[in-house]
């Protein structure tokens, strides 16, 4: 099993831009491959030579702690040379456009560009201009595919499956690329998805996303297998979306009283960064039996190793 997953058949996509364009087979291939790297990441010696001689450039036009570090570790553990381009000190500050920056990096012949950008669609646009693989590390309010994959791997390893589970995504769904990628993935994999948000933070196209929409936490969380909390993305809000943070916490913050409506063994998830006391209470976030928030971080490295592997053609392969 491990041998098979570590040497998977070629992946059919050139880039990883979003979950929406993936099939159940492709998602399963990525998750199976990632599963094979989890035990390696728990050993003292973690380095493989699979991507030796390959170059991965992380280009983050937006802040990040876990995603950037996770991609850097993943690239290094696969044996690649990893460069982090710091946008704050780059020529972007001198007015260089996204596409000129992309073409410049492309001319240095990287094998993979990992890109985060505040505009939805910017990463897909960049992917059309370069001749290496591009991984979307979050584009505006659109998609964050590796986050959804690591969330799915976390659930699959804990519960054993995704299909048939009731997964509730709560909070600032409107601004969340994590929510969008998760909704696509969970629907493709046969889970039942509910979103819980105040009307102001519910996407206008929610009906077309294939989810059940709730505005009341108790009803939304009822009998859930998984409760996934989201941060209030103040940086994407222009105007007042919630009356006050205190009121938001009272109605939409996850505490034990609201969690009591979910299944007794429901798992608590959060992509991070968390705002404790806003969307999630500290005791719930740190509950060692129910919270899998740090498992998500751990499995994120394995998922990104799988993505780098599957998007980098092997020598001699004609894909």
Question: What is the binding site for ligand NCD (CB under 6 A)?
Answer: 66-67, 138, 144, 147, 177-178, 231, 233, 271-272
What minimum distance in Å lies between the beta carbon of 279 and ligand NCD? 9
SS3 of the chain: CHHHHHCCCCCCCCCECCCCCCCHHHHHHHHHHHHHHHHHHCCCCCCCCCCCCCEEEEEECCCCCHHHHHHHHHHHHCCCEEEEEEHHHCHHHHCCCHHHHHHHHHHCCCCEEEEEECCCCHHHHHHHHCCCEEEEEEECCCECHHHHHHHHHHHHHHHCCCCCCEEEEECCCCCCHHHHHHHHHHHHCCCEEEEECCHHHCCCCHHHHCCEEECCHHHHHCCCCEEEECCCCHHHCCCCCCCCHHHHHHHHCECHHHHCCCCCCCEEECCCCCCECCCECHHHHCCCCCECHHHHHHHHHHHHHHHHHHCCCCCCCCC
- Between CA 127 and CA 130 the distance in angstroms is 6
55 or 248: CB nearest ligand NCD:
248
144 or 304: CB nearest ligand NCD:
144
What minimum distance in Å lies between the beta carbon of 204 and ligand NCD? 20
54 or 114: CB nearest ligand NCD:
114
What minimum distance in Å lies between the beta carbon of 235 and ligand NCD? 9
What minimum distance in Å lies between the beta carbon of 172 and ligand NCD? 8
106 or 151: CB nearest ligand NCD:
151
106 or 115: CB nearest ligand NCD:
115
Which residues are CB-contacts of 205 (< 8 A; sequence separation ≥ 6)?
none
55 or 230: CB nearest ligand NCD:
230
Instruction: Name the closest residue to ligand NCD (Cβ).
Output: 231
166 or 178: CB nearest ligand NCD:
178
55 or 197: CB nearest ligand NCD:
197
What minimum distance in Å lies between the beta carbon of 167 and ligand NCD? 17
Q: Which residues pair with 226 in a beta bridge?
A: 167, 267
- Between CA 105 and CA 114 the distance in angstroms is 11
What minimum distance in Å lies between the beta carbon of 114 and ligand NCD? 12
What minimum distance in Å lies between the beta carbon of 280 and ligand NCD? 12
What minimum distance in Å lies between the beta carbon of 117 and ligand NCD? 11
């Amino acid at each position: 099993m491990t041998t098979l997953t570590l040497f998977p058949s070629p992946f059919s996509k050139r880039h990883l831009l979003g979950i929406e364009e993936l099939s159940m087979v492709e998602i399963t291939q990525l998750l199976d491959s990632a599963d094979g790297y989890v035990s390696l990441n728990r050993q003292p010696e973690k380095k493989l030579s699979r991507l030796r001689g390959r170059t991965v450039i992380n280009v983050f036009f937006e802040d990040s702690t876990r995603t950037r570090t996770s991609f850097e570790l993943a690239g290094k553990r696969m044996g690649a040379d990893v460069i982090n381009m710091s946008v704050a000190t780059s020529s972007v500050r001198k007015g260089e456009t996204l596409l000129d920056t992309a073409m410049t990096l492309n001319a240095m012949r990287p094998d993979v560009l990992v890109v985060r950008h505040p505009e939805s669609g910017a990463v897909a646009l960049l992917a059309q201009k370069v001749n290496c693989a591009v991984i979307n590390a979050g584009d505006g309010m659109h998609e964050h595919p590796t986050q959804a994959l690591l969330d799915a791997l976390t659930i699959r390893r804990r519960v054993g499956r995704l299909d048939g589970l009731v997964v509730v995504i709560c909070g600032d769904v409107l601004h969340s690329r994590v929510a969008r990628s998760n909704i696509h993935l969970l629907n493709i994999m046969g889970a039942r998805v509910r979103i819980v948000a105040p009307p102001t933070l519910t996407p206008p196209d929610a009906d077309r996303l294939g989810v059940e929409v709730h505005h009341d936490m108790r009803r939304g969380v009822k009998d859930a297998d998984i409760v996934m909390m989201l941060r209030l993305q103040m940086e994407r809000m222009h105007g007042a979306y919630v009356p006050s943070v205190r009121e938001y916490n009272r109605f939409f913050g996850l505490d034990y009283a609201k969690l009591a409506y979910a299944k007794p063994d429901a798992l608590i998830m959060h992509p991070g960064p968390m705002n404790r006391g806003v969307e999630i209470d500290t005791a719930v976030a740190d509950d060692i039996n129910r919270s899998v928030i740090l498992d998500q971080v751990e499995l994120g490295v394995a998922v990104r190793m799988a993505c780098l592997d599957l998007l980098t053609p092997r020598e001699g392969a004609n894909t």
